[in-house]
Each structure stands twice: as C-alpha cells, then as structure tokens.
Structure 1
C-alpha cells in the first residue's frame, strides 16, 4: 500500500459489519421456555406462538353508520321515499328485530343489522317526518353494512410468534378472542462495568477517575418488559473478582453484557477470564468506527457480549451488533432497523477502511424531502454528550474517503 493512502492500513484484518452481525447471530440461540399469561399481563412480552382468530371479525353484520336500516326490495322507483320507523337498534342489542314490510329501523354504529335488512342510510341523508323518514337517494344493497368476517375470518392468521405485544398486537389479540396467550419467559440479563477508574454519578472524583456512564446507558437500553435485569454495577480490574462475578452471572443468566476490558491491553481481562471458566470465546475486530473491539461467547446456557469501554463505542456497537444478538436470544422475530435515505449538508473528508457511524444533526430537508445531515465533531469516540445532542447516526461506507455536499447516504434515526 502506498505511503500516501488515506485508508486504514489494517482494515483487511477486520471483519465487516455484516460478517460480525452474522457471526453473533449464529451463537444467539433463542429461548424455548414459555408461560401462559392472561392477556393483560402479557402486554410487553414476546409472543411464543402463532395466533389465528378465534372468531369472525366482525362477528355479525353490523352498521357502519348512525342512520336507518332498510330493505331495498321494499322501495319504489322514487324519486322520493317515505318510510315509517318501526323500531330502534343500538350497539349491544341482539339484532332479533322484526318490522313490517315497507318500514325502516333506527340503527346506530356497531349495532347488528337484522337478516332481512340489506342497507343502511346515513342519518345525514334522511329528513325526519312526523311518522318516519324521507330521502331521495335510493341505497344500494350492502350499503354501509360491515359484513360478518369482512375484516378477518375465524382461523385466519393474525400474529406471528416472536413479536412484542404492544398496543396494536394487544388490540388484535383481544378482538380475536384471546383471554390468555403463550409468551416466551423473560430473558435473564446481567450487566456490569469493568474498570478501577469508575465512580458513580454524585460521588467525588479522584485522580484518574471518571463517572460510569455505561452502566446507566445499559440500564436505559434494557428497560423492557421482556427482560429480567440484574445490575452488578462496576467491578474493579481485579482478575479474581472479575472471574467470580462473571462465573456467577453465567450460572444465573441467559445473557451477560459487560463494558470495558475486551481489547488487548494488560488490564483487558475479559477474553482470558471467560475462556478460563469454560467459555467459548470469539474476540472480533470489526471494520466499524467507533467500536472496533467486541467479544462474545457461550458458556453452557449463557451468552456473553463484551462491549468496548468507551461509551460512544459501546453504544454504537450495541445498537449495530449486540441488540440484534439479544433480540434473537429473547425469541424475537425482528427485522433490523432500516436506515433512511438522507443527504449531507456539508462536504466530508475522512480516512477510508472502516464503516463509520457518525453522530449527526438534522438541518432541514432537501428538495426531494430527505433529511439534510450536519456532521458532528470528527473526533467523537470519547464524547458521550454528542449522542444526547445527535438526531441519529450517518452510515459512511468503509471505502468512502470523500463526499460532497448534497451526496446521498443512509441514516439511522434515534
């Protein structure tokens, strides 16, 4: 390679982001244990079974409007129609109403339409008289009637296993008649931060000490109804203590997540310790910036993910690789976040070789309606405050050295 090349000279030794993601997913076996819960308790949990509708939706012919039910066969050729009103049907009534030939029934939205009535007139299209209603537009058969099974037939699929039961899924399950559902048991996750330099926010900092931001970042990222979280806090760089905490976590957890200690320095103990307690370890150097070092491994039923100690690197590595591994482990059938198309609001110069995830702010929109991205500081890997100020991450392909203003690129919105 020529001396003047701006490329990362060691990029050929790294895995691509896609390779790293695939390698991580390959060892992230989904949980198989399930439990059946009342629907109200299952909200926020991971569905463990494919669900089909137990009922026709709607379950009966019903009115789509407030108005009047009529029999079109009773109507003359017009142009003016006068019908007496022989009764009233509200939502929740049985629908077993009879009416003389040539009469209408007052009906409300959601009310059952009697079998021999085949159209509903909107009340706005009718004039009330002393004896009934008058209208001028002849209705068509089926007008403003929601037919039984029109939305979904009994036995038709409604949800696939692996989805999180949020508002839309809960509504669908309730409408389909599910009083209880089978869900994946909660994922048992243990987290701890490595580093003798770490202090908790609010404590006084000594020489060489920093506040532990990674702990609170992970607590926020893992605050999910389908996770049972154990927080071990910070653990100093003592191999004996680190091994003890790591071993205990492996015996009680489905997933262990740590920050720090995964590179190649003298104080980076985690790869060696995990191997010494019987774990199968894969330490990866990934062609991504930030977040080059990441490790993961398996020990019996526990999956371990070791993130970099730098908080920006830890966040980006988690979002791009770690979160996908956790989702698969938890039994989620999940499509990774799809990037948006955006354009640069300013030119870019950089060193090629690694795929970069640069914090950006949205500065208006292009003529085509795409977000215009203002790049934040080029040196950002240690500046965690930038993440809070950013609107997302611009994805700069590994081979790119320069991009002009207005150039299109992909963008992951926070």
Structure 2
C-alpha cells in the first residue's frame, strides 16, 4: 500500500541516512587483483609486511662512506678505495683507514657506519677531504628502520590510493585481495528527457542526471550499468525495475518520485514487489527521496531536479556505496569553515548549497562564498564550487563570520 502525502511526514536527514544505510550490507565476495588493477578498489583484509624495510642498511645520500673512528681526533685525509653503486651485485668491505664513493640507496659496505654528502667533501689526489667532521651514523638508513616486519601496510576497508600501490610495490606485493566493486544501475525516468547529444523535442530537456550519477558512482569505485531513460509509465518501469534487481546491488534512479500525477517511480516500485522503507526527507533541495529494497537489491530514488540529485547522492548514495564496499561511511559535511556571506533561512528543512572557497580566516578555517543564490535546479553553480555547505534545519540563518559545516569535493 502506498501511503498518502498527508500520512508521510518529512524524515530528518540523520534518520534518512540511517534508513538508506539499513538497505545495504557489506559485500562478501573477494577478488584477487593484480596490483596495477587495484587502484580505487577496497582492500578486503589487512595486508601485513612480510619483511622489514629497508631490506638492507644503505646510504641516504650521494657521497662517501667511511668508518667514523678512522678519522681520528682531528679528522684527516682518507684514501678513496673505490665506488659502490645502487644495486651493487656483491657485498663489499670497507678497508681500514679508507673511504668509498657511494650513491643513494647503495648498500653500506661491511665496516662502514657513516656517509658524508658530496656537498660536505671533496677529492684531492685520490683522497677524501672533509669540510667538517661528520657524526657517526650520519646519512645512513638502517635495515628495518622505516617499517618493521608485520606492519600493516593497508588495512581492511581502505580504498586503495596511488600511495598504497607504491607501498605494496616496494614490499614486493604483486596481487591484492579486494572487495568486489558494488554493481550500481543508474537510470532516469521522464518523458521530457532526451539523451545528451540527441535531438530533443519541443518540450524536452537533455538528461543531465544519469551521466552525472554514473560519473559520481564510478568515481566512488562502483561498477556502473547504464539503465537508460524510462518513460513515465508504471508498467514498463515496473518491469525494468524487476529485471534490474537480478543484476545490481543498488539501483539509483532520478525523477518520478514526487507527488505529481506523472511521477510513477513509487507505484512502479511497489508493483515490482519492492518495499519502501522511507520517503520524503527534510532537506532542500531534494525532499522527494525514496529508499527501499527489491529482493537483495537496494533502491534509492532521487529527485529529478539536477541539483537535488547531486545533493542526494552525496547525502545518501555515497554512504550506501561505502557500506557495500566494506568501508565505514564518513559523515557528510564534517569539516568546519567560516561564512563569507549572510543569509536568512526559513526553519524546517536542512539546506545544502554549493560554495566556493575565498581564502582562509585568521584562525585557519576556510572562508566560503555561497553560490547559486535563488537558484535550486541548475547545475551551473557547481562548476565553480569547491564543495557543499549545510545550514541546519532549525537555523534562522547565517551571519558573516559564523561557523559552517561543509563537504569539500576533494574529501570524496
């Protein structure tokens, strides 16, 4: 049974996030990927170092290696007995009373305990001339000093970034256990929609939401299936939703979820056998959001308003994707900033809006400018935005200099 508008009060954003998250569970399927294919995937279990690093004691500088005690009390000249390059095939021994040229990363010879940088030495007639006396152990990287054996290189639930690839490669690890990427279907609903690049009818607009949501889901590490544009008719939409439930972990739709007579998503979802867990959220933009499940598949229906769809993805779908991937969902807008603007707000719904960073306050916080004033449907302000900021539902407004919570786009 569909609830009537009057019997469906608005859900606050925190509760809506809990409902959204309750529709998904962490995926258990693990895949073993080559290191080069693991970027952006989520590590399925802790990866520990099998050895300590560095593997061997080596030079941190290009220069000369010596035995500190050979310098004597007043320093002195040391004959240069040879050169050690990085990757030297055979171990070497430092002769008593001599020095060896050495390059960064080259293994320290037996008996050596100090490296003098090139900038602090010179050569004269085959001997090393020092400008100052070095301290014993200077510029030497001891075996195991960077990373102990057994150290956790990448923790379970970590989304693998380029620096993790580098660390794993340095440890000789060529394959990585990762959680299967969530399969997400993205579709749009609406007779008014034409595909980007296609000819549009007299009263049509180009579908911005589907390409945008596909890009957002791919950036979040999903395997994305383009569900296309569906008409504003309950029966074909219901059949499509039922078909998709067999292939997806999460279906993201946009459009057709409000109270309009031509908004078919909710009745189509129920006709397909879906169960609605929550509907209508106290957020602006983005009130008509639907959460539910159809079998093992979670469904999140976002509004057709492009800005609202963008906001809804960051508020709800991003958290669902994190949980599916085995990661802990991060709070939305957890960073602090100062308002570089004033704005009166009507209490009732949490408001989310694009902002641009103007600079930094005297206390080190970003100073934000509000964008898109008086415009809630267009994506145009997002092109200049550095993130999204939030005004709490019961706030009466913001004064210049007030503390704000915001979500910088670089935070993911």
> Normalization by structure 1: what TM-score?
0.91
Looking at structure 2, the residues matched to 208 and 253 of structure 1 have their Cα atoms a distance apart, in angstroms, of: 32
Kept in 1, the 8 Å contact 2:333–2:388? The answer is no
Kept in 2, the 8 Å contact 1:53–1:177? The answer is no
Structure 1 counterpart of 2:227: 232
Kept in 1, the 8 Å contact 2:51–2:150? The answer is yes
Unaligned stretches of 5+ in structure 1? Answer: 1-9
Structure 2 counterpart of 1:43: 39
Out of 269, 272, 279, the residue aligned to residue 274 of structure 2 is 279
- 1:87 counterpart SS class: strand
Looking at structure 2, the residues matched to 61 and 46 of structure 1 have their Cα atoms a distance apart, in angstroms, of: 33
Out of 303, 308, 314, the residue aligned to residue 303 of structure 2 is 308
Structure 1 counterpart of 2:189: 194
Q: Does the alignment pair 1:116 with 2:84?
A: no
Looking at structure 2, the residues matched to 226 and 383 of structure 1 have their Cα atoms a distance apart, in angstroms, of: 26
Structure 2 counterpart of 1:140: 135
Structure 2 counterpart of 1:4: none
Looking at structure 2, the residues matched to 30 and 385 of structure 1 have their Cα atoms a distance apart, in angstroms, of: 35
Out of 372, 375, 379, the residue aligned to residue 380 of structure 1 is 375
Kept in 1, the 8 Å contact 2:315–2:332? The answer is no
Kept in 1, the 8 Å contact 2:292–2:298? The answer is yes
- Cα drift, residue 178 of structure 1: 0.7
Looking at structure 2, the residues matched to 160 and 121 of structure 1 have their Cα atoms a distance apart, in angstroms, of: 38
- 1:219 counterpart SS class: helix
- 2:262 counterpart SS class: coil
For residues 8-407 of structure 1, what are the structure 2 equivalents within 5 Å? 13-78=9-74, 80-94=75-89, 96-224=91-219, 226-336=221-331, 339-407=334-402
Q: How many residues align?
A: 403
Kept in 2, the 8 Å contact 1:95–1:112? The answer is no
Looking at structure 1, the residues matched to 9 and 90 of structure 2 have their Cα atoms a distance apart, in angstroms, of: 73
Q: 1:74 to 1:377 in 2, by over 3 A?
A: closer
- 2:24 counterpart SS class: coil
> Normalization by structure 2: what TM-score?
0.91
Structure 1 counterpart of 2:3: none
Deviation track 1:117-150 (CA, whole Å, cap 9, x = no partner) reads 1111112211211131022533222211101111
- Cα drift, residue 155 of structure 1: 1.1
CA RMSD of aligned residues (A): 2.2
Looking at structure 1, the residues matched to 131 and 331 of structure 2 have their Cα atoms a distance apart, in angstroms, of: 55
Unaligned stretches of 5+ in structure 2? Answer: 1-5
* More moved, 390-399 vs 172-181: 390-399
Kept in 2, the 8 Å contact 1:341–1:410? The answer is yes
